[in-house]
Structure 1
């Protein structure tokens, strides 16, 4: 299968809704598909540090200069994907940057596509952010909403005021399953990419089982959604290829804890 079009993905939205988590899950997938990617991290907490040995990850202050390097990447034939993990909130400054850099025109010139990837919680601020971004960018971008079930499973504000609008914008939604806080913290504390951390024997075998299925269910929500596959620049591969990223079941039925 031919590679998907070149794709710039901006993870956007409110603070602490799972932007970096979703970014890391996608990076692992891009790696196994052989996609050539460049990652930019605006987060000064270095949430993506575990991936530095796998690919170039550059830190930058998105709103105070130094972002020309992103625009230069459009001219690099070897790149397939540019991921920018944006800071929380600041939708107004994001829009100002897009206007000031003439980003939409550059994307057309160099034949790249833009996707806004927005995890949401139950909060109304998430809906307001998505509404503002959609009204600004209209059909210059694709939209993928990630319903982060760590916060809720109902998403009442989103469903009442924005879900239909997202459909009209041509957008789509996927979900990130809930993962117990203890399991997530163990995963993060390994300091490893998720593809390695979920097999780390410093994590209890039961925890690894939950982590494995958490990741698999997130990937399944994408694999069952053709729009999501396209908008995220992924190859439409067979669902069984999940094991190429994370191996087979990370546990056995043994009661022993490694």
Structure 2
């Protein structure tokens, strides 16, 4: 089965951040990626330098076009959908009405939900609602985003963590990157890989200093090391076949 990674969860917890880190990896590995975003803002815009970023709304027309594209483009290795925060109720209604996950499965794709969390209870509420609705119809990667701190008191050792484990899900860390460096990446409007390059384009080097590029490079490397140390993460993120 090929993989479709869909971001899920609360707003401003790192969904697009993790999507960008994955896109960098896919591009580095030479994978043919179908990338899409939902909502009003394309947070993956910087990656249009390297691939097409499609628009996807939770509408029947978009779904039919999306499914047809996946069936027609049989050379796609992995699909990444960066969806906006707090869209879960709408997604559940959409899935019930058109059997979204079933349709994807019927053409050879299984969904991985990429669900970052912080220390807020809202994150866990969304996660509970997601797995109660979809259970084992999909796989789950929970990303503990250390940008918000090192403690996750509403997840660690709680029933929700055991529920994720029982469904075959896996939990990983996303190491912290400073708010200042994030701001520099946004200002430069570049991919994370370009922001951490030793010899970036002039427009990037004018905004992101050498020491900041070093921080970005190290941060990306930590993410990559975590993924490549766990076979299940590679499988769920479509990096192994």
Same-fold call, TM > 0.5?
yes
Can you give the 5+ residue segments of structure 1 that lack an aligned partner in the other structure? Answer: 237-258
Tell me which residue corresponds to 1:195.
193
State the shift of 1:37 in Å. 1.3
The answer to whether the 8 Å contact 2:7/2:83 transfers is yes
Query: Which residue number in structure 1 is paired with residue 37 of structure 2?
Result: 41
Q: Which has the higher helix share?
A: 2
Query: Residues 10-62 of structure 1, C-alpha deviation per residue, up to 9 Å, x if partnerless?
Result: 01110011111111111111112121111111142321111112111122333
2:5–2:114 CA contact under 8 A, matched in 1: yes
- Name the stretch that deviates more: 192-201 or 135-144: 192-201
The Cα of 1:86 is off from its aligned counterpart by 0.9
- Which residue of structure 1 aligns with residue 144 of structure 2? 147
Q: Deviations over 1:89-143 (max 9, x none)?
A: 1212111111222123223321111100011111111111111111111111000
Mapped partners of 1:39, 1:175: distance in 2: 23
In 1, distance between residues paired with 2:177 and 2:59? Answer: 33
Find the counterpart in structure 2 of residue 220 from structure 1.
225
CA RMSD of aligned residues (A): 1.7
CA distance in 2, matches of 1:192, 1:53: 9
User: TM-score scaled to structure 2, two decimals?
Assistant: 0.90
Task: Decide whether the 8 Å contact of 1:36 with 1:79 is kept in 2.
Answer: yes
Give 2:165's aligned residue: 167
Structure 2's unaligned 5+ residue stretches are: none
After superposition, residues 50-69 of structure 1 pair within 5 angstroms as: 50-62=46-58, 66-69=62-65
- Counterpart among 103, 110, 121 of residue 107 in structure 2: 110
Q: Are the equivalent residues in 2 in contact too, given 1:174–1:221 (CA < 8 A)? A: yes
What does residue 247 of structure 1 align with?
none
Q: Distance in 2 between matches of 1:150 and 1:217?
A: 14
Runs of 4+ with >4 A deviation: none
The number of equivalent residue pairs is 232
Secondary structure, in 3 states, of the residue corresponding to 1:158?
A: coil
**Separation (CA, whole Å) in 2 of partners of 1:221 and 1:63:** 35
- The partner residue of 2:155 within 158, 168, 174 is 158
Alpha-carbon distance in structure 2 between the residues aligned to 1:155 and 1:230: 25
Structure 2 match to 1:23: 19
For 2:148, what is the secondary structure of its paired residue? Answer: coil
